[in-house]
Amino acid sequence: MTVSRRTVLGALGAGLATLSGCTEAIRADLGSREVSESTGPLAPPSTVQPAGSSKGWSGLRDALEGRLVLPADSGYAAAKRAFNPQFDTRKPAAIAQVASASDVQRCVEHARSADVPVAARCGGHSYPGYSTPARGLIIDLGRLRHVTVRDDGTAVIGAGARLGDVYAALAARGRCLPAGSCPTVGISGLTLGGGIGVLSRQYGLTCDQLVSARVVTADGTYRSVSDQRHADLFWALRGGGGGNFGVVTHFTFHTVAAPRVTIFSLRFPPGSTPAVLGAWQEWVRSASNQLWSNLVVTSGSPPSCRVGGTFVGGAGPLQTLLDRLVRAAGATPSTRVVGEKSYLEAMRYFAGTATRERFFGTSRIMQRPLADPAQLVDPVDGQPGVVLIVDALGGKVAAHQPSDTAFPHRSALATVQIYTQTHADTARAVRDELGAVLGGHGYVNYLDRTMPSWGKAYYGRNLPRLRTVGQRYDPDGVFDFAQNVSRA
Ligand SMILES: Cc1cc2nc3c(=O)[nH]c(=O)nc-3n(C[C@H](O)[C@H](O)[C@H](O)COP(=O)(O)OP(=O)(O)OC[C@H]3O[C@@H](n4cnc5c(N)ncnc54)[C@H](O)[C@@H]3O)c2cc1C
């Protein structure tokens, strides 16, 4: 079954378009957006056996507590809609809006016995659209979005929650989880690929806060995984990428007291970008973990740049740090915005408009400062419509070894996202030019269907171990897709 299933799914996937991308590119330039707190029930622990095999969709529909949406049903177009409109033309066979963990078991059992492609969906932001499988079953976790904060500061978060849900619910209890900026991004995809955000240097990646998870694996079993139970699977869930090993229904995270932060944004004049990058890379490397920053380069003739970020602390010490950056860059910013905020206010500031958008995104990893910063800027000089988002790593991200979790880029200086809404071919060419300068790695949450040597690029030396976990928990390829670790 393994070979035939993978072969069939590969053929289906080969025709799919590859464009996708990220509004994160412009997040610090955008205004705020409110996201309401979710109130759905927490799914009960599984006491239900996996449903028996059912060849037709009506059998699955009858078995579900939630709703099964088929192409002929009203609401099908809305139910299958992902973040990137690029994937609106894809036609999944069914969308299961699951209401419980046992619903997830029934879906996995059905997909396995009926031999249809299946993928979980949380926020629907997968760059190559892997949560929208053509002619397959989407397990939409959106109803499992409840956030429960316990007295010990851990939080149980339903795997369908989006970051806006998470931030609002945690803030109501004075807590926060270091995670990404876009409120509609799903907690699932973000965590399973690592999770980079404005508190990464202070507290680590989102996956570093994970205490345990509840997962339905390919055999339909509902497992509780942690350092003590199924430790191999728990390791793989922390950076091994969404969709590979099973369907997570709930995450339990450590949370931290929500800090007050100071946000900042400095826009530099065109022409100064290599000098600013040269100063920024040393500045961010030597700064305390309280500082997180990104540098966004916009292509053009010449390219321009902006430095933004967050400081865990007050405006006074941050202004001193910013003065140091400006002096080292030798360029005067045309705008300099600094403001103290609660953590929730800061996340709403960074949230942007979060409207759906067509994009293509890919990435490289910057291991260390460049001796010649122009090497990063030159590939977008004179190019149209491409943005480079250089997000700092370091700090607590580097407190772990590359093999401690599946996220391998622990000692790197930054991720470099290459993002476009209009010029995918140019972005791919920039990716390849930067690969020659920075090396061949990339960040799995900016998954690119056309990434050269993608297995090694996304997982480095963790790839063989991830393949072993994949084989162990999904030997028949039930969760197969074009970039499943078993194919790398
Ligand atoms: C606008 C935007 C902003 C972003 N900002 C950031 C950021 O600040 N930091 C960062 O690190 N990344 C960021 N990303 C990247 C983001 O982390 C990835 O795209 C992530 O995969 C999205 O997760 P999702 O749940 O929204 O997507 P989905 O498409 O729902 O899922 C992504 C993948 O995970 C699988 N999956 C989903 N749920 C589950 C589950 N419960 N169990 C197992 N597999 C599952 C899906 O099948 C799919 O393969 C951003 C992306 C976008 C588009």
Is residue 263 in contact with ligand 1, taking CB distance under 6 Å?
A: no
Residue 381 DSSP one-character state:
B
Quote the ligand 1 centre to 420 CA distance (angstroms).
Answer: 18
Task: Give the Cα separation of 100 and 346 in Å (integer).
Answer: 33
% of the chain beyond a pLDDT of 70: 89
Q: What is the pLDDT of residues 145-187, one digit of tens each?
A: 999 999 999 999 999 999 999 999 999 999 999 999 999 999 9
Question: Ligand 1 centroid vs 123 CA: distance in angstroms?
Answer: 6
Please give the Cα distance from 247 to 155 (Å, whole number): 19
Using 50, 70 and 90 to split pLDDT, how confident is the model at 50? very low
Report helix, strand or coil for 391.
Answer: strand
DSSP H or E segment with residue 344: helix 343-350
Residue 198 CB less than 6 A away from ligand 1: no
- Choose the weakest-confidence range: 16-20, 22-26, 325-329, 369-373: 16-20
Q: What is the C-alpha separation between 296 and 389, in angstroms, rounded?
A: 5
pLDDT tens digit string along 398-416?
999 999 999 999 999 999 9
**What's the chain's average pLDDT?**
90
- Please report which residue ranges of 194-245 form alpha helices under DSSP H: 200-203, 231-237
The alpha carbons of the chain give a radius of gyration, in whole angstroms, of 22
Q: Is the pLDDT of residue 9 over 60?
A: no
pLDDT band at 52 (very low <50, low <70, confident <90, very high): very low
Number of CB atoms found within 10 A of residue 291's CB: 26
pTM, entire model: 0.91
Query: How far does residue 282's CA lie from ligand 1's centre (Å)?
Result: 30
Amino acid, single-letter form, for residue 340: E
| Ligand 1 centroid distance, CA of 189 (Å) | 3
Q: For domain 259-459, which CATH number applies: 3.30.572.10, 3.40.50.150, 3.90.600.10, 3.40.462.20?
A: 3.40.462.20
Q: What value, to the nearest 5°, has the Cα angle with vertex 298 and ends 296 and 300? A: 155
Rounded CA separation 110/354 (Å): 34
Give the mean model confidence (pLDDT) for residues 105-114: 97
Q: Residue 2: pLDDT above 60?
A: no
For the chain, the structural domain boundaries read 259-459
Ligand 1 contact via 193 beta carbon (within 6 Å)? yes
Overall average pLDDT of the 313-318 stretch = 97
CB of 443 closer than 6 angstroms to any ligand 1 atom: no
Query: Is residue 137 within 6 Å of ligand 1 at its C-beta?
Result: no
How many residues belong to the chain?
A: 488
285 CA distance to ligand 1 middle (Å) = 27
Confidence of residue 354 (pLDDT cuts 50, 70, 90): confident
% of the chain residues with pLDDT over 90 = 87
Whole-number Cα distances in Å, 136 to 376, 451, 475: 40, 24, 19
pLDDT computed for residue 20 by the predictor: 26
Q: Is the pLDDT of residue 22 over 50?
A: no
Query: In this model, does residue 444 exceed pLDDT 80?
Result: yes
Cβ-proximal residues to 11 (8 Å cutoff; 6+ apart), any chain? none
The pLDDT confidence band at residue 56, using thresholds 50, 70 and 90, is: confident
Q: Which atom of ligand 1 is nearest to the CA of 121?
A: 30
Distance 193 CA to ligand 1 centre (A): 8
> Which atom of ligand 1 lies closest to the CA of 247?
42
Relative orientation angle of helices 273-286 and 315-329, to the nearest 10 degrees? 140
Other C-beta atoms lying within 10 Å of the C-beta of residue 433: 17
* Whether residue 205 has its Cβ less than 6 Å from ligand 1: no
Residue 182 Cβ inside 6 Å of ligand 1? The answer reads yes
Distance 33 CA to ligand 1 centre (A): 20
Residue whose CB lies within 8 A of the most ligand 1 atoms, among 86, 121, 137, 184, for a mutation test: 121
In the numeric block, which tokens belong to residue 116?
A: 């249809």
